[in-house]
Amino acid sequence: MQIRPGSLLIAHPVHSNTEHRKHLVYITESNSINTVGVILNKLSNYDMCEFMQQKGRSWYGDRAIHIGGIYNPHSLIMLHDINWYSSHTMQVNSRYNVSSDVTMLEKMEMGNTPDWYKLFIGCTAWSAGELAHDLRRRNPRWLLIPNPTDELVQSDIKYQWDHAVAEYSQDVFDAYF
């Protein structure tokens, strides 16, 4: 089971009493050093308009900021469609990019936004082999969808975890029949 950028981790339902309860982590980078992703379905108390005002800027887009994870908690990261770029944009896969820079904010402030995007503060990360080891455990903390649908990635966070479990279940079912 190979972890690739664009994969989705689902917090295993058995571990519902942990801090990862119902988390979905979209993997943005995976290499020999580490694996990095953002929690798709954890909304923060921050408001993008307030965030931009603190930087002396205006904001007219989506106000929601999600908590991507505990690492780099002061960095703003944007997961977005593949057709938009900024000065520090990294391709995740053939459908999504991730950006994090001042130019991104400047472009968006002027109305130059991706067709679809989600904003995050911070990210989640594992050291080399740590996540792969967890996925091979007898009782893993995470389940993996290697290629989640756009419908799942872009769905409303209220329904996203249930949608992910259904998609994972369908993948398991399809593998046996």
The least confident of 58-62, 65-69, 159-163 is 58-62
| Whether the predicted pLDDT of 61 surpasses 80 | no
Assess if residue 158 is contained within a domain.
Answer: yes
- pLDDT for 170 equals 85
- pLDDT for 161 equals 92
**The domain that contains 160 carries what CATH number?**
3.40.1740.10
Tell me the average pLDDT across 48-68. Answer: 85
User: 175: Cβ–Cβ under 8 A, 6 or more apart, which residues?
Assistant: none
- pLDDT for 35 equals 96
- pLDDT for 47 equals 86
Assess if residue 2 is contained within a domain.
Answer: no
User: β-strands 89-91, 64-67: how paired?
Assistant: unpaired
Assess if residue 27 is contained within a domain.
Answer: yes
| Whether the predicted pLDDT of 19 surpasses 70 | no
Task: Count structural domains, the chain.
Answer: 1
Tell me the average pLDDT across 3-32. Answer: 87
Q: What are the tens digits of pLDDT across the range 164-177?
A: 999 999 877 777 77
Assess if residue 65 is contained within a domain.
Answer: yes
| Whether the predicted pLDDT of 49 surpasses 90 | no
CA dihedral 97, 90, 22, 147 (to 10 degrees): 60
pLDDT band (50, 70, 90) for residue 111:
confident
The least confident of 87-91, 107-111, 119-123 is 107-111
Tell me the average pLDDT across 94-114. Answer: 92
Mean pLDDT for all residues in the chain: 90
Assess if residue 150 is contained within a domain.
Answer: yes
Tell me the average pLDDT across 129-152. Answer: 92
CA dihedral 172, 175, 176, 177 (to 10 degrees): 120
**Cα dist from 128 to 9, 19, 30, 90, whole Å:** 16, 22, 9, 20
Residue 25's beta-bridge partner residues?
Answer: 9, 39
Assess if residue 44 is contained within a domain.
Answer: yes
Range of the domain at 62: 8-176
User: Which residue shows structure tokens 């571990």?
Assistant: 15
| Whether the predicted pLDDT of 144 surpasses 80 | yes
- Report if pTM > 0.85: yes
Tell me the average pLDDT across 57-73. Answer: 88
Assess if residue 90 is contained within a domain.
Answer: yes
- pLDDT for 37 equals 98
Assess if residue 3 is contained within a domain.
Answer: no
